[in-house]
Amino acid sequence: MDNTDFNQHKFKILIVDDLPKNIQVVASILQKENYHLAFAQNGHKALSHVKYNQFDLILLDVMMPDMDGFEVCRQLKANEETRDIPVIFLTAKADTDSIVKGFDSGAVDYVTKPFNGTELLIRVKTHLELKSTRQDLEEANTTKDRFFSIIAHDLKNPFNGLLGLSELLIRHYDRFDDEKRKKLLNDIKNVSELTFKLLQNLLDWSRMQTGKMQWVPQELDLYYLVEENISLHKTNAESKQINLYSTVPKDTPVYADRSMIVTVIRNLISNAIKYTRAGGDVKVSSKTTGGFEKVIVSDTGLGMSVSDKDELFRIDVHSSKPGTEKEPGTGLGLILCKEFVEKNRGRIGVDSEPGKGSDFAFTIMKMKNED
């Protein structure tokens, strides 16, 4: 999370103190930074709050009836779902033993009353920034691990296929008739196309992550972008006896980065074909909604469950499944689609039902947005 994202994010902070007056004092200081605040007047209510809400930081009093702050903090740190929430003790107990006990229970900081409002704000902001940085690093590591997994495993598989098919053709060329040779050559071509698509996605995605892919929007006619991809996938669709067509009319203006949107359409059509059985349909359509054009790639394929839909656009989850003819995949294409659509200020989603097909839809701006 960069500084701009940090400043725009409205952090959620829980203030825990048995005295309403103390809560009011702390809240009046934090409201200057427009934080979203919640309150609890004892330890049990605090633990109940965190059970049903996600907090970025907890300011915790020590001396409270029934359950003191040390025990509240220990329980928070013992729970896998709450242990990463930073806790700052805000208390009048200023003796060394209490401070040590506070840190031993899992707190990240210890502020004694009476405190300086400016100092409290600085400490709160510091720990929120540290938490955000830690989350960013964890996400980056997860992304890196997934990326290397794709390279090491999913990219290796099609190359093994190419090597195996090529070796088989060379070794037994004279023994095979023309029909068998053509089949092997066609298999080699199909695997080569798959590998090339995967390489394209890997390169595009890595360029996006490193900031080397610039967003260069321009006025475009959606009709031609779709027709270009229909032509590209026509042979693949025909080989599966799938009816691939578009109802997008000519002169459908959009404002977007051409390369990115072509990549999005390419991936969505490719996926639709992969998960549609022989004799099925894949259709590209669009409709205007406000200042956006909504593009829908519909298929009559396998469809998916709610849990599958939830994992589609996550880099940390391997959500790809074999196609109707056992076509392999990595799931990276949809992740790339999401990043490209959002880069073009649009949104992407899916409506699907097992056995009834899927509708992947994304939005593109109709015209240049001066904002």
Our count of domains for the chain comes to 2
Q: Is residue 281 situated within a structural domain?
A: yes
Q: What token pair was written down for 233?
A: 């996938």
Indicate the residue among 78, 109, 138 that finishes a domain: 138
- The whole-angstrom separation of Cα 142 and Cα 133 is 14
For residues 12 and 130, membership in a common domain is answered with yes
Ramachandran class of 22: left when φ > 0, alpha when ψ lies in -120 to 50, beta otherwise:
alpha
Indicate the residue among 138, 167, 187 that finishes a domain: 138
Indicate the residue among 77, 107, 138 that finishes a domain: 138
Residue 17: CATH number of its domain: 3.40.50.2300
For residues 99 and 8, membership in a common domain is answered with yes
pTM (predicted TM-score): 0.54
- How confident is the model over 98-109, as pLDDT tens digits? 889 989 999 999
Q: Is residue 202 situated within a structural domain?
A: no
- The whole-angstrom separation of Cα 83 and Cα 80 is 5
**Do residues 229 and 266 touch, judged by C-beta distance below 8 A?**
yes
Q: Is residue 167 situated within a structural domain?
A: no
Q: Is residue 150 situated within a structural domain?
A: no
Residue 326: CATH number of its domain: 3.30.565.10
Q: pLDDT 10s digit of each residue in the chain, 371 long?
A: 444 444 445 899 999 999 999 999 999 999 888 899 999 999 999 999 998 899 999 999 999 988 999 999 999 999 988 999 999 998 888 888 988 998 999 999 998 888 888 889 999 999 999 988 888 787 777 766 666 665 655 566 667 778 888 888 898 888 888 888 888 888 888 778 767 876 776 777 777 766 677 888 999 999 999 998 888 788 788 888 999 999 999 999 999 999 889 889 988 998 899 899 999 999 999 999 989 999 999 999 988 888 777 777 775 565 567 677 766 665 667 888 898 899 899 999 999 988 889 999 999 999 876 55
Identify which of 164, 184, 163 has the alpha carbon closest to the alpha carbon of residue 173: 184
For residues 330 and 239, membership in a common domain is answered with yes
CB within 8 A of 248, min separation 6: which ones?
Answer: 222, 223, 226, 284, 285, 286, 295
Dmax (CA) for the chain in angstroms is 92
CB within 8 A of 140, min separation 6: which ones?
Answer: none
- How confident is the model over 165-216, as pLDDT tens digits? 888 889 888 888 888 888 888 888 877 876 787 677 677 777 776 667 788 8
- By residue range, what is the domain housing residue 76? 3-138
**Do residues 232 and 193 touch, judged by C-beta distance below 8 A?**
no
